Amino acid sequence: MDLQAKDFAKEHREFLENNRPDVLSALRQSGDLDSYLSSVGEEASSLYDRMMSDHQQLHQGKPYHDLVRELQAHQHGVVELIRHDLINQPLREQ
């Protein structure tokens, strides 16, 4: 699992600890916690990479500083979308 996926997995674990300790406990008891967190992290990382790459391809040819500014703004939106749709959800299908 790459660093970005680990960060997303850690963030999801923290969400579960703070908001859904029952789900976290059930995953621990079943022995599925690590694979579940890895799956969520990989899915989030893959979505992030795909969305950033698609955005960058659409804006090729722009001046460098404009592109960097747009990518930074887009990055913030992508991360917030991933948090809303994947990370801050109680349970994802494996």
Report if residue 93 sits inside a domain: no
The more confident residue out of 88 and 3 is 88
Q: Where are the alpha helices (DSSP H) in 31-86?
A: 33-58, 64-82
pLDDT tens digits along 2-55: 779 999 999 999 999 999 999 999 999 999 999 999 999 999 999 999 998 887
Per the CB < 8 A criterion, the answer to whether 6 and 85 are in contact is no
Report if residue 79 sits inside a domain: yes
Q: Give the contacts of 35 (CB within 8 A, at least 6 positions apart).
A: 94
Cα–Cα distance between 32 and 2 in angstroms, integer?
A: 20
Report if residue 68 sits inside a domain: yes
Report if residue 47 sits inside a domain: yes
Report if residue 34 sits inside a domain: yes
- For residue 60, is pLDDT > 80? no
Q: What confidence tier does 94 reach under pLDDT thresholds 50, 70, 90?
A: very low
Host domain of residue 77? 3-87
Task: For the beta carbon of residue 60, count every other beta carbon within 10 angstroms.
Answer: 7
Q: Taking the model in full, what pTM does it have?
A: 0.81
Q: Give the contacts of 37 (CB within 8 A, at least 6 positions apart).
A: 9, 10, 12, 13
Number of domains in the chain: 1
